[in-house]
Structures are given as C-alpha cells and as structure tokens.
Amino acid sequence: MSFHIKTQGEFQYIDEGQGEPLLLLHGLFGALSNWEFVLSEFSQTHRVIIPMMPIYQMPVRSAGLEMLTEFIEGFVNTQKLTGMTLLGNSLGGHIALMYVLRNPEKVNRLILTGSSGLFESAMGGSYPKRGSYEYIKERVEYTFYDPKTASKDLVDEVFEITNSIPKCLNIVAIAKSAQRHNMANEITKIKMPTLLIWGLNDTITPPSVAYEFNRLIPNSTLRFIDKCSHAPMMEHPGKFNVLLRDFLTKNPVASPLVT
C-alpha cells in the first residue's frame, strides 16, 4: 500500500478517510507503515491520522517523552482534532497515556497495544550495537512471534537507523526517559473506555504488563492474540482489526474524564 504523506510546518503525517478521528502513534523504531492494515480498513469508516514523531530530529538534550508529548499536542492543535480515538503501540502507547492525562477532553476512547509505561525490555535501553546486520536482524525478529514477519525492508530500515550515531543517541535518550517514567500512579485517573490488545507471546512488554494495565485503568478491557508478540497490528492484522472494530462498535459514546 502506498502512503500519501502530507507536510504542514514541522509535521509530516498521513490523513485518510472521513468521520471520527482515529489518531495512531507508532513506537520507538516504528514508522507510518506499521499501521498499514489499520489504515487500509478503518479509513473506510474513520478519519485515520498518523503523525511521524520526530524521534531522530529532536535535539538529543531534549529527546524524551516530554518533548514527544508536546509534539503530539501541537499536532492535534494544528489539525484542530477533537473527539478522537487514540491508539498507541509500544512507545506510542506511552505517549498516548501522557496525552490523555493532559487532554482528556479531546479523547473519546483509548487503545494500547504492547505499550510501555509500566515495564518494557527493549533494545533501546542500551546503545544499539552498530555495524552488525545479523545482530540487528536478530533483534528486529525478536519483536515478532514469527521471525518471518520481520521483512528485509524493516530490518534494513532499523539497520540504517542504528548506523547513525546521532539517531542512536536519541534512541537511547528516549528509551531511558520511558524507563524512568513509570505511570502506575497516574493511569488510575483514566476513566474513558480503554482497550488493551496484547500479544500473548510479547517478550518486550510481557502479558503480566497487560494484566497490570488492565488492573490499574478502571474502564479497561484486555484482549490477547495468541502466537503474537509486540506488534499485533503488524503480525495479526486481521485479528487486531476485528478486536478494534468490536471495541469501537460497543463504545459509540464515551465521557473522557480524568478525576
């Protein structure tokens, strides 16, 4: 599927379809293409918007969750978005949580998949090993239950990133920022309908993390996908989309409140 990427000021993003806004946030090594199957299906019924977060463009001294959340706030304000459904994977889930807590009036529903915010074990926690294609290939494959899901294009993309010293420095800074920011005491304030879609075989944010999110977020529903790891929307897009569609149908109106 080809993507039409729009540019407005500092923002690059995909914006397809009409209707209720569905804002998708990718992870640390993520890209717009991570959401290909969600975009393909839900742009028929929703306005699907996917901003490219400036993970590699921001100054390393300010690289972290705070700046990324401010970036998303600026993007949402520029697009004049309200009544959103917000969906985040991995680091994108962490940013989604921070955004919701600051701007609950703009979000109707929240979906997290393989989200950080409580615990994660990831390559970004230390300086990524540079120069070894096989090592990078192994780490990318580790993200999926079926290693074949890690296409050569995806491995090549991550390999290129890890061979750039400035990009590596940003990755490490952002990963450490995420690890320092545990949200266990904050997410209990989230009252809007929340769906947790988790890979039963996730090795980065294991099922125990999903259960903890489910325990702490009052109005949350947890759904597992078997033979699936950290990126369900890529590894099992059909099952992922069924769970997402069912959640949206069952929660047509929400009261986005934080107490």
pLDDT tens-digit series, residues 24-55: 999 988 778 889 999 999 999 999 999 999 99
Number of domains in the chain: 1
Parent domain of 110: 5-121+181-250
Give the pLDDT of residue 30. 78
**What is the rounded average pLDDT of the residues 191-201?**
97
- Please indicate, yes or no, if residue 176 is contained in any of the structural domains: no
- Please indicate, yes or no, if residue 52 is contained in any of the structural domains: yes
- Please indicate, yes or no, if residue 236 is contained in any of the structural domains: yes
Q: Please check whether residue 133 is in contact with residue 162, taking contact to mean a CB–CB distance below 8 angstroms.
A: no
Confidence of residue 131 (pLDDT cuts 50, 70, 90): low
pLDDT at 151 over 80: yes
Question: What does pTM read for this prediction?
Answer: 0.90
**What is the rounded average pLDDT of the residues 139-149?**
90
- Please indicate, yes or no, if residue 215 is contained in any of the structural domains: yes
- Please indicate, yes or no, if residue 151 is contained in any of the structural domains: no
- Please indicate, yes or no, if residue 152 is contained in any of the structural domains: no
**What is the rounded average pLDDT of the residues 65-90?**
96
- Please indicate, yes or no, if residue 99 is contained in any of the structural domains: yes
